[in-house]
């Protein structure tokens, strides 16, 4: 609970367009069970909540850094050009800032914002995806999954 309270101090900073180097026109926050997502076009910043659900442990700064880096590494395989990297948020006497000289207080995943109307579920709902495109998507996913080395975790949970 205390960890989440410390993170909540970052919310006003992350909702303020002037906090971002690219100065977006506005910032919107979306919350999930595990993340706070700040949509600051043309980018999206995902902050992992300081939570431990057992199956998902982001309880320490070091774990959040690790899982941010892992998310970028894994998702770049199928989303080339979307996952741009991990950025650190620092705190100094002047306040919070991306990068900087203060101590690191949080890490976020930075992504390129996708156009909502181009998400597959929305295109399907509008009838814009035909059988040929679905076949290409399935073939790409099949090739990807068949090329992955099985791990003990996948063997146990993927049955």
Kindly report the pTM of this predicted structure.
0.85
Q: Residue 39: which pLDDT band, with cuts at 50, 70 and 90?
A: very high
Note the pLDDT tens digit of each residue in 90-130.
999 999 999 988 999 999 999 999 998 989 999 999 999 99
Query: Would you list the DSSP string of 15-61?
Result: H-GGGSTT--S--EEEE-SSEEEEEETTEEEEEEPS-B-SSSB--SH
Average pLDDT over residues 22-51: 98
Q: Residue 159: which pLDDT band, with cuts at 50, 70 and 90?
A: low
């Amino acid at each position: 609970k205390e960890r989440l309270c410390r993170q909540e101090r970052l919310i006003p900073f992350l909702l303020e367009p002037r906090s971002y180097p690219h100065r977006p026109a506005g910032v919107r926050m979306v919350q999930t069970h595990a993340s706070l997502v700040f949509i600051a076009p043309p980018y999206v910043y995902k902050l992992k909540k300081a939570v431990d659900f057992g199956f998902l442990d982001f309880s320490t700064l070091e774990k959040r850094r690790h899982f941010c880096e892992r998310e970028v590494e894994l998702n770049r395989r199928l989303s080339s050009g979307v996952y741009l990297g991990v950025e650190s948020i620092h705190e100094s006497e002047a306040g919070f800032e991306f990068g900087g000289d203060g101590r690191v207080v949080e890490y976020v995943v930075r992504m390129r914002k996708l156009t909502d109307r181009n998400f597959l579920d929305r295109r399907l709902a509008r009838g814009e995806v035909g059988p040929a495109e679905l076949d290409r998507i399935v073939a790409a996913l099949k090739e990807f999954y068949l090329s992955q080395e099985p791990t003990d975790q996948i063997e146990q949970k993927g049955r």
